[in-house]
Structure 1
Amino acid sequence: MRTLRTGNTHTFKIEPDHVGGRTQTATFPKEQVVSPPANKKKKKTASDHYLLIGFDTEYQVIDPVDAPAVRAGEAEAKNEVLSYQFCVKRISKNDEKGSPHKHSGIIIPEEGERIAIEDFIAFAIGAWSKAFPNETIPTNIYLVGHFTRADLPAFAEFQDSVRNWTSNIRNTFISVDHHMTLTVAFDAESETVFLVKLRDTMLLAPSNAKSLNHLGEIVGYQKLRLHDDPDEELRIKENMRELIATDWPQFRDYALRDAEVCVEYAERLIRQHAELFDKFELPITLTAFGQPLVLAGWKSAGLSETQVLGREAIKSRRFIKKLGHYRTDIEQPYLDRVHWEEAFVTETYHGGRNEQFMFGIAPEGDWRDLDLSSAYTTAMSMIGLPGWSKLEIFDDLASIRFTDLAFASVYFEFPDHIRFPTLPVRTQYGIVFPRKGLSNCGAPELWLARQLGAKLKLRRGIRVPVNHDVPIFKTFIQDCIKRRGQSPKGTFDNLFWKEVGNSTYGKTAQGLRKKRVYNLSQDEMQELPECKLTQPFFASFTTSYTRAVLGELLNSLPKEAQVFSVTTDGFLTTATDTHLTKALGKPLAQSFRTARIELVGDDNVVETKHAILQPIGWRTRGSATLKPGPADTNNIVLQKGGIKTSELMEGERENRHIVELFFNRTPDQKLVYTVGIGIKDMVRHDTDFVSRSVEKYLRMEFDWKRRPIDVRDEQVDFAGKTYRHLSFDTVPLEEV
């Protein structure tokens, strides 16, 4: 916990000198402050009233820094802070419509100076109370920014304060276990203590709407553009000092918008949280909604989380020296039988299938990018209640059904005619799908391999019987889909429920593959821990089933139906509707269809995401479009394969840039681009969020997950030029 003190009166400049240099003094009377009743015996609960303070900064960026020089103390990494913005709004649990009393403001610091965060908060509160003298001031505050990693360092004494009251999640600053206590002194004898918690709307945004512009659209704020030309807008954003000098009104409007969006979006989430859990508070991440909803659903169905997850509750009593007494904790380790097999099942857990089947210039045709409809959530809906106590070893692969919660290690060999072998083999370069080898996988893929005529030799297999009459995720997923469908696409409720449903799969896999992350408070790298829903049996089945459905579809297409690539839950193909109808009649696709009908009432197994006339590709997740499809469709397919482009480069312009990189690349060509300096360097070396230069080889060659055949030289006209390039098809590798 960080304790800060400040006075009750603050004076700051609210416009630059060249337009008058006007100042404002903000003082709020102590009689407006309403503190919660003191009750030390009462457990900490959410407040019914908050001040939401959205905040943002504008700064003139410096040239990219040399990270080693910063670490050695040879270079300072500080931007020029131009302004601080705030938007303050009081919200109450009982006021469903929300208070109309919202006040925004801006502070212009003296040249070369920075203001303290405690003075900024006190000034913002004072400015709001002056605007609304009849409103009471709650002492519980949410300080809300968007990508706080960029804005928090703009305050004075950043390095000292950040360690004491913030944590880091996904490379940004928030408060988790700690908070800021801000004491505002009215006079020598009276003061008020405010509790300040930091939140970041980037962690609360849907995965496909991370930008502040997207969040603004969700809450009814249109995007403010600084210029119609994207290149000029990027130049202006990189030279905000120039904008403040030439067009102060535009700078001010643009600067204030971010703080306003943060407040409105945060309020929507607080009210959503109160509606769902009767807790009037702002969670840390959007995924925090899904986990408790799943657990609550199990409880209402008469199921305990230990029963579903194969765990047991064990009480442990230990002496806490700091507290001076014993404390009883409840731990939930796996049951013995589950624990013994946990490591084995984790080895059968793999990610999505990602492969490039054609390199270079593909033939022209009617190419469609087809995705399985809500693949992971549909797969999860098929998991029944496990009978963990009856976990068994099996020795007969013929007895395995694709709906079983079963896992095995097998030697395999597919017939020569199989175009797309379906058993994954993990390598240091990711998973590959060779014709023969050793695979650790789940029941859906084992079943499919047998249907495709593969020879299998079982090394080891385990199975947990399940009661499919008691699906453990289905009700939750149905509820998310129902709620999502009640609102138009792009609205808050639609995007919220889509994200809550889709993100739950990730929680079942959290911590299975060891991942080290930086812990700010400990200043060290630590392994990402498991969460309450982590369960390798569920995660492995979900991904195995999705890969199996895709594998069945791919191998059911005739040879004349070309397949360009596959990415997690979709593939780019020239398959016609007739081809697809036949492929979708196979058992796995039919089970997927049945699950979709039960979930949403329609039988769409696949949906068309994009339609193009000619693709070009180089490696896994590396492809672009040579000839777009019809103008009234999503007519460009673009996967950059790790290549960084400008944040303002999008659509046809970005696609053209990537294609021209491919055709014009040279041996050992390097790209020089900038990325934000890491959060560890920021904390250790007291830097702002500055850019550092990165030099990286341009990797647009094939990744050898399959073997080239039919090597040829192809020619194509693109953007007014004629290009020739090596191109080829592929067949499976014989073995790793």
Structure 2
Amino acid sequence: MMLLRLACRWSSVTACCIHERLPVLEPRKVTMLGGYDGFHGAWCAGPELYLALKLGATVRVQIGYRMRLRMHSGSTPSRSLRFALRQMVEDRATAKKIFGKGSLEEQTVKVATNSVYGKLAQDVSERNGWGAWAEEMESIGGSSVTSPYHASMTTSLVRALLLAMANTIPILSVTTDGFITPVEEIEHFDCFGIANVFRAARRALVGDPTVWEIKHYQDDLVNFSTRGNVSLLEHGVLAKAGLKVPEEVERGTVAERRWFRDTALSLLGKIPNPYTSFPTFRELSRSVNRLDFHPVDRTPEVSTVDFDLKRQPLRGTLRVDVIDGNEMAGFDTCAWDSVDDYKHARGIAGHMQLVRYGTTGVDRPTGCLRTGHDWETWFKRFESARGRRIRTADSALLTELVAAHKAGLVVVDRLAVRVSVAQKVGWLSSLGMGEFTRAQWDHMSKKVRRSTVLRDADMDAVRAFADELNRGDGYV
């Protein structure tokens, strides 16, 4: 058994797989990373190392721990937790049979069973809590059964199984312990041998080697983000991306599903997500500025329905669907090459969500990433030289057209005639691609500014645009 800190690089062959990278923890986010730039390694356990080698990775172990299994009678592994956990699984099944699914008795055993992992992992990564006596944050410490080995192997095995399955069948969305796929039968896949570990554990716990459980099925899926997907069918998936359902919408009904789907498809900016909170234990117990126990209404606006960019969108696969009259963009993804690229991408998305592109003024509305034009603008900003200001994809193309014309790379008939600059700028602004100002015109007369714009311009698109304008295709 192993615990390792390592860095991996995949060959060009396996780089085509959609889920083959290391999960890397960044502040408040977990991203999938494929390269070394800005990345110094990640902790993992033996199952992930095994899978990485199976997928053809070059692995560099930076720190490694090899552990010996405790054996009984010479050849039988200890498995000290198996008997207790099997008893809890049996007790839950009994409670469900006698008292019914969802009963207090069944839920009590369920919570106790699920808490086993929490106690095994308690304080493996140091956690602090509020100490009311000293009125300061203090380490919560480990439990009597804290075990870094059990904690890491439990999560490592699940991650390895999911990643192996993702390299076996197409997957639309994946979470901590499950995924959405168009493939109906998946039980027979061996997942590079990892599924056999789970089959053996299942057989020991419940006498059934079945690994996968179908939780939902549908033929009308709309997938917005990792934790935002919906079907209008009662047996379909519904994950609301943390959005609070209005009081007038009945929970557990098709109306709830319709509300979430319509809200996510029609949004133009951040979504109001009001909720009621209560003071924390720290606020209630401190001796100075102590708060009374009363509800507080909060009204934040969130962007949780937007794609979270844990993986890199591929521009060449950008497509647009129209659902219920609303446009929704989609694309394939791959692992990020570097932490810096991921941070840059998140920064662009955050700014587009904070203020809607193409708007001006002090009280600008919020934005989102939903339509094809939204994502074209994001791609243009991401791919452009650092420091270049991009308002929208259309306005960027307009600026590139003027820069190319002034540099002699293309000829735009309406810009080549002897008329005032004001008339030329007015004509550019009338094309429906955003306002083009006199200042922008003057900037494109400067060689340094022009070269910055042309450096990341798609000249084939610029030439095609110039040809359309010269032919008068849809333009006056």
Same fold, TM-score > 0.5, yes or no:
yes
Equivalent residue runs for 1:515-664 within 5 Å: 515-557=127-169, 562-577=170-185, 580-584=186-190, 586-625=192-231, 627-628=232-233, 635-646=235-246, 649-651=250-252, 652-664=254-266
Matched, 1:711 2:318: yes
Runs (4 or more) in structure 1 with deviation over 6 Å come to none
Of residues 123, 126, 135, the one that matches 1:514 is: 126
Partners of 1:498 and 1:700 in 2: CA distance: 30
Q: CA deviation at 1:681?
A: 3.5
Deviation, structure 1 residue 672: 4.0
How big is the shift at 1:450?
A: 0.6
Q: Report the CA distance between 1:686 and its aligned residue.
A: 4.8
The RMSD of aligned alpha carbons is 2.4
Pair 673,514 (structure 1): closer, same or farther in 2 beyond 3 Å? same
Distance of aligned partners of 1:493 and 1:700 in 2 relative to their CA distance in 1, 3 Å threshold: closer
- Given candidates 50, 69, 82, the residue that maps to 1:447 is 50
**Paired AA for residue 711 in structure 1:** L
Separation in 1, partners of 2:59, 2:181: 30
Contact 1:670 1:697 in 2 (8 A): yes
SS of the residue 1:499 aligns to: helix
Q: After TM superposition, list the pairs within 5 Å mapping 1:147-546 onto structure 2.
A: 404=1, 406-414=2-10, 415-437=14-36, 438-466=41-69, 467=71, 468-487=76-95, 488=97, 489-546=101-158
User: Shift in Å at residue 420 of structure 1?
Assistant: 0.8
- Per-residue CA distance 1:363-386 (angstroms, 9 max, x = gap): xxxxxxxxxxxxxxxxxxxxxxxx
How big is the shift at 1:449? Answer: 0.7
Structure 1: distance between partners of 2:309 and 2:121 = 28
Distance across 2 between alignment mates of 1:517 and 1:640: 30
SS in 1 for 2:201: helix
Separation in 2, partners of 1:483, 1:598:
15
Structure 1 SS opposite 2:107? helix
Contact 1:682 1:689 in 2 (8 A): no
Which runs of 5 or more residues in structure 1 are unaligned? 1-403
Offset, 1:460:
2.0
Q: Deviations over 1:107-153 (max 9, x none)?
A: xxxxxxxxxxxxxxxxxxxxxxxxxxxxxxxxxxxxxxxxxxxxxxx
8 Å contact from structure 1 (residues 715, 724) kept in 2? yes
Percent identical among aligned pairs is 27
Are the aligned partners of 1:673 and 1:693 in contact in 2 as well (CA < 8 Å)? yes
TM-superposition CA deviations, 1:473-510 (whole Å, max 9, x none): 11111111222222313344433333222210110111
Aligned partners of 2:104 and 2:277: how far apart in 1? 30
Q: Secondary structure at the match of 1:654?
A: helix
Structure-1 separation of matches of 2:204 and 2:228: 36
| Partner in structure 1 of residue 393 of structure 2 | none
Q: Greater strand share, 1 or 2?
A: 1
2: CA distance, partners of 1:482 / 1:674: 38
TM-score, length basis structure 2: 0.61
TM-fit CA distance, 1:706: 1.0
- Deviations 1:692-731 (CA, angstroms, capped at 9, x unpaired): 33333344222111121311110123xxxx2222222222
SS at match of 2:223: strand
Q: Who is 2:307 aligned against? A: 702
CA contact (8 A) 1:516 1:527 kept: yes
Given that 1:612 and 1:636 are in contact with CA atoms closer than 8 Å, whether structure 2 keeps it comes out as: yes
The answer to whether the 8 A contact 2:240-2:260 is kept is yes
The structure-2 alpha-carbon separation of the partners of 1:501 and 1:581, relative to structure 1 and needing over 3 Å to count, comes to closer
2:344 aligned partner: none
- Normalised TM-score (structure 1): 0.40
Shift of 1:612: 1.6
**Which amino acid counterpart does residue 53 of structure 2 have in structure 1?**
R
Q: Which structure 2 segments of 5+ residues have no match?
A: 340-476
Cα distance, 1:601 vs structure 2: 0.5
Does the 8 Å contact 1:674/1:691 carry over to 2?
yes
What letter matches 1:703 in structure 2? D
CA shift for structure 1 position 680: 3.6
Q: Deviations over 1:3-62 (max 9, x none)?
A: xxxxxxxxxxxxxxxxxxxxxxxxxxxxxxxxxxxxxxxxxxxxxxxxxxxxxxxxxxxx
The residue identity in structure 2 corresponding to 1:425 is: V
Aligned partners of 1:549, 1:658: CA distance in 2, in Å? Answer: 31
**CA shift at 1:461, angstroms?**
0.9
Q: Identify the residue that residue 346 of structure 2 maps to in structure 1.
A: none
CA distance in 1, matches of 2:107, 2:226: 28
Larger RCO of the pair (alpha carbons < 8 Å, separation 6+): 1
* Residue aligned with 2:331, SS: strand
Looking at structure 2, the residues matched to 528 and 645 of structure 1 have their Cα atoms a distance apart, in angstroms, of 35
1:516, CA displacement in angstroms?
Answer: 3.5
Match of 2:429 in 1: none
What SS does structure 2 have at the residue aligned with 1:563? coil
Q: Look up the SS of the partner of 1:597 in the other structure.
A: helix
Residues 312 and 336, structure 2, Cα contact 8 Å, conserved in 1: yes
Amino acid at match of 1:595: A
SS of match in other structure, 1:614: coil
Judge conservation of contact 1:441–1:544 (CA < 8 Å) in 2.
yes
Kept in 2, the 8 Å contact 1:445–1:547? The answer is yes
Aligned to 2:384: none
Aligned partners of 2:9 and 2:59 also within 8 Å: yes
In the TM superposition, what whole-angstrom CA distance separates every residue of 1:534-554 from its partner, at most 9, and x where no partner exists?
122221111001111111122
Q: Is the CA contact (8 Å cut-off) linking 1:410 and 1:440 kept in structure 2?
A: yes
Give the residue type in structure 1 aligned to 2:251: E
User: In the TM superposition, what is the alpha-carbon distance from 1:669 to its structure 2 partner?
Assistant: 5.2
Aligned partner letter, 2:263: L
The Cα offsets for residues 259-292 of structure 1, whole Å up to 9 and x where unpaired, read as xxxxxxxxxxxxxxxxxxxxxxxxxxxxxxxxxx
Greater helix share, 1 or 2? Answer: 2
**Residue 617 of structure 1 aligns to which amino acid in structure 2?**
N
Output aligned runs, 1:126-137, within 5 Å: none
Deviation string 1:404-459 (CA, Å, 9 cap, x unpaired) is 2x111222112322221153222224332222343321001001111111111222
**CA distance, structure 2, for counterparts of residue 671 and residue 481 of structure 1:** 38
Aligned residues: 316
Mapping 1:7-156, distance limit 5 Å = none
Distance 1:543 1:612 in 2: 29
Partner of 2:300: helix, strand, or coil?
A: strand
Residue in 2 aligned with 1:86? none
Asked if the contact 2:19–2:163 (Cα under 8 Å) also holds between the matched residues in 1, the reply is: yes
Taking the aligned partners of 2:321 and 2:270, their CA distance within structure 1 comes to 23
Q: Would the alpha carbon gap of residues 600 and 726 (structure 1) be closer, same or farther in structure 2, given more than 3 Å must change?
A: same
Distance, in Å, in 1 between the alignment partners of 2:118 and 2:105 is 21
Cα 1:432–1:695 shift into 2, 3 Å: closer
Aligned-residue offset at 1:653: 2.9
Equivalent AA in structure 2 for residue 712 of structure 1: R
CA contact (8 A) 2:88 2:109 kept: yes
1:692 is matched with which residue? 297
SS at match of 1:556: coil
